[in-house]
Each structure stands twice: as C-alpha cells, then as structure tokens.
Amino acid sequence: MANSYWVEPDVRFVKQLKRLGGDTLKKCYQCATCSVVCPISPEERPFPRKEMIAAQWGLKDKLVGNMDVWLCHQCNDCSTYCPRGARPGDVLNAVRAYSIQEYAWPKWLGKIVPDGRFWWLLLAIPVAIFLFLLGVTGHLHIPEGEIEFAKFFPTLLVDIIFVPLATFWIPVVFGIGIYRFMSDIHKNAVAEGKAKRKDLNIPDFLKSIACTIPTILSHSKFSQCTENKGRYLAHILVLFSFVGLFVVTNIFFVALYILQIPGPYAQANPVKILANISAIALLVGVILMISNRLKDTGANVGKGSYFDWSLIILVLGLVVTGGLSQLTRLAHLPSIAYPMYFAHLVLVFCLFAYLPFSKLAHLVYRTLAMAYSRYSEREPCD
C-alpha cells in the first residue's frame, strides 16, 4: 500500500510565491509538458511538474530545501511550451527567492531585501554610515586640486568598511544559510528517494563541488536551452566580469598594503586594463539581461519580479557610477567625480552587505545543489 501523506496547505506560502513572480502557479493542470521539454531535468523524478503541484497546494516543505528547484536554470523552455501559461520557470524562480529569505540570517534583513517597499532604507543605511564617517574624519567636502578619490574618501576608511564586510559578514551570514540549506536538501533528497547515498560525507561532497565547477564556468546547462539562448551569453559575461573585478580588487589590495604602491594607477597598467575590460563586459552583460527580460515573448515569460530587477538595477548602477567616476576624474570635473564616487561606494556596500539576501545568493545555493546532485548520484560528474 502506498504511504499516506498528510497535506497541510500553507496559504501564506502560496501568496508569497505569487508576490515573488509565481502569480500564474494556479493555472497548472498537471499535463507534464514542462517536465518533458525541460532540457536539464533528470529522467528519474523529473521537474518542474511535481514542483508545480506542490506550489499550488502550498507544500512548503516539499519545495524549500528541494535540490531540484536549484537545478533549474530558469531558461523558460518549459514556460514557452506550457499550454496553460502557468510559467513553471518563473514559479521555480519564486521558490528560490523564497528559499533565500528562509535561509537568511538575520531574518529581518532577509525579509526587507526582496521587499520593494524598503529599497530606500537599504540605500539610506550606507549613506548615513558614510556621511557620519566622512563628517567625523573631516572629509565631508569636495577637496581642492587634482582629483584623487583617496583625498575625499580615505583608502583606510574604505578598507575599514569593506574588508570586514567581505571577510566576516558575508562568510558568516552565508555560513549559517549554507548549514541550514545543506541539512534541508539532504533530508529532503533522502526522504523523496532522490539520493542514492544516505550519509553526508564532507570530503566526498567537496569532490562533488570540484566536479561541478567546470559545468558552472562553461555554463553548459544554459547552452542546452533552446528558447532563450540570449540568457547564456548575458549570464556568462556577468559571471566572468565579476571574476575579473574580484581578481583586480585583490591585486590592488596587495599592491597597496604589501607592495606599498598607492593609486591612482595609469590607464595602461595591465591590471587597470583588466578592470576596464571587466567593467565593459559587465555593462554589456547587464544590458543583454535587461533586453532579454523586456523582449516580448508573448506570454510575459521570464519578465522577473522586484527580486530579479533589484539586482539587475544595482549592478547597472555599479557599472555606470564606476565608469562615470573614472571618466569625470579624467575630465577634471571634481563636482561630479566625487559625488559619483560616493554613489559608487554606496552601491558597492549594498552589493556586499545584502549579497546573501539578494538574487546573487543563487550563485552559492545553486552551486551547492548542483554539487549535491552529483554527490547523491542524481546526476553524473562531468
């Protein structure tokens, strides 16, 4: 006899999914076309049909902590072919957004980052901190003479703010989220019979992460999509430009504090060239992302919610303020260059401080889910 399952619909969970972009979830009539056309879904217990019925019933425990939700790359092949316009790709995206809030710590920050009513508060926090620090250190004015950003916002002050964010805040907050996430996806996979291994062995799991990295770097899952090929190029440009900017930041940090070479650095400096190429790649990637989301697919597919757009706008703002700071510095326009630099630092703060609660957190959670899928032998290692 089949095991009985006591269904406890969570209406608030359904409402949250609708608010996060899954507003069409009730349209699904379980035809399974989506699971058939999904190029990524495994043959055994394929997604996203089963996730759609769980979403309709508000079965939160079947969705939050479900590795399959994270294996989906939101290519929206399924949404294009869905005969009911239920947009399963967008529903899974909403489940991921909800899960990021669920694993977040502190919870209140996890709640306000994806909530469009609080964008002004998230910006006001760094603005207040920066104005206070500039005020007490006597830097709250436009400096005279040659434009040097360090004369306005001392490098030591920048590092006092951003080094703890990067080396303490992000690892600790993500560490808590990762612990909760891994416990849940393992429990869920064993309970649902998706994991061949019942234990969670850390050294073996680390090997699975290593075998997942080539898939992520090549974006080979994205390239399997047929309906939205543009997402592949946009995503890969953004990924590699972030990698480039990460490398540049670390080199400049070593140059300043270990080699004692202060900036500004010449435009012909190879590291500066890498920074500029990465910034241009990021700008092109973000513009492609915006045009992909805005293009008319006929069924409002993949348009995204506030959660998606807040990250896209933040990254666009980062590139524009960073580029304009540099251009106005070279054009000797201090009254524009210094405020632009201030705005750029505010947005960098938002990126760092809110990263574990934003859409960008999917980079970590999806990597772990893909690795777990290989660890649990749901998918083979490449």
Interface residues toward ligand SF4, by CB under 6 A = 28-34, 38, 40-41, 47-49, 52, 72-78, 82, 84, 86, 88-89, 92
Nearest to 294 by CA among 304, 280, 285, 284: 304
Question: To the nearest whole angstrom, how small is the minimum distance from the Cβ of residue 216 to ligand SF4?
Answer: 15
Tokens encoding 241: 């430009």
Residue closer to ligand SF4, measured from CB, 16 or 79? 79
Cα 223 to chain centroid, rounded? 19
Q: Give φ, ψ of 261 to 5 degrees.
A: -110, 100
d(CA 195, CA 204): 14
Q: How far is the CB of 96 from ligand SF4 (least distance, A)?
A: 10
Pick the closer one to ligand SF4 by CB: 189 or 348: 189
Nearer to ligand SF4, 35 or 328 (CB): 35
Q: Report yes or no: 60 and 77 within 8 Å, Cβ to Cβ.
A: no
Q: Measured from the CB of residue 143, what is the shortest distance to ligand SF4 in angstroms?
A: 50
Q: Which is nearer to ligand SF4, 22 or 110 (CB)?
A: 22
As measured in angstroms, the least distance from the Cβ of 222 to ligand SF4 is 9
Rounded to a whole number of angstroms, the CA Rg of the chain reads 23
Nearer to ligand SF4, 82 or 318 (CB): 82
Give the H/E segment covering residue 378: none
Minimal distance, residue 234 CB to ligand SF4, in Å: 15
Show Cβ contacts of residue 171 under 8 Å, excluding neighbours closer than 6 positions: none
Q: Which residue has the tokens 């999914």?
A: 17
8 A C-beta contact, residue 185 and residue 67? yes
